[in-house]
């Protein structure tokens, strides 16, 4: 990987930027560190209301949104984003206005209900 990152300066810059918060320079060590971050052991204890986005064409973690949704015991909503809406792919990059509208609409409903925040 180090050779590939040296041969592709833009890719190398992206890896360095992604690794910076972890203080890690090795691609292997970064992947090992990031793999340790998971909510899987805790999902059965999450009871705060959650909005989970599920973009069509998710290429980093296909199916992860649905798996998280299915594992959560508390109030939850799964919101899809499609290519037809122009809001597909990881983080809905081409449909940020639609993404933000749906997220803020969801928050408006929860905050207007006066339900106490849980943490």
* Tokens 């060590």, located at residue: 29
Specify if 119 maps to a domain.
Answer: no
In sequence order, which residues have a C-beta less than 8 Å from that of residue 54 and are 6 or more positions away? 65, 66, 69, 78, 79, 80, 81
Specify if 118 maps to a domain.
Answer: no
The verdict on 107 and 77 lying in the same domain is: yes
Specify if 99 maps to a domain.
Answer: yes
The verdict on 31 and 44 lying in the same domain is: no
Q: What tens-digit pLDDT sequence spans the chain (119 residues)? A: 888 888 999 999 999 999 999 999 898 999 999 999 999 999 999 999 999 999 999 998 999 999 999 999 999 999 999 999 999 999 999 999 999 999 999 999 999 977 655 54
Specify if 87 maps to a domain.
Answer: yes
Beta bridge partners of 76: 50
The verdict on 91 and 72 lying in the same domain is: yes
Cα(39)–Cα(11) distance, rounded to whole angstroms?
28
Q: How many domains does the chain have?
A: 2
The verdict on 104 and 53 lying in the same domain is: yes
For 54, how many CA atoms within 13 A lie in the half-sphere containing its CB? Answer: 16
Amino acid 95: pLDDT: 94
Q: Which two tokens stand for residue 73?
A: 């015991």
């Amino acid at each position: 990987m180090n050779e590939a990152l040296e041969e592709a300066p833009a890719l190398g810059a992206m890896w360095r930027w992604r690794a910076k918060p972890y203080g890690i320079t090795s691609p292997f060590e970064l992947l090992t560190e990031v793999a340790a971050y998971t909510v899987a052991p805790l999902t059965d204890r999450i009871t705060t209301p959650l909005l989970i986005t599920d973009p069509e064409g998710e290429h980093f973690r296909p199916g992860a949104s649905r798996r998280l949704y299915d594992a959560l015991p508390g109030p939850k909503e799964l919101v899809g984003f499609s290519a037809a809406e122009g809001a597909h792919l990881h983080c809905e990059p081409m449909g940020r206005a639609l993404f933000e509208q749906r997220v803020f609409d969801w928050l408006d409903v929860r905050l207007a209900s006066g339900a106490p925040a849980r943490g």
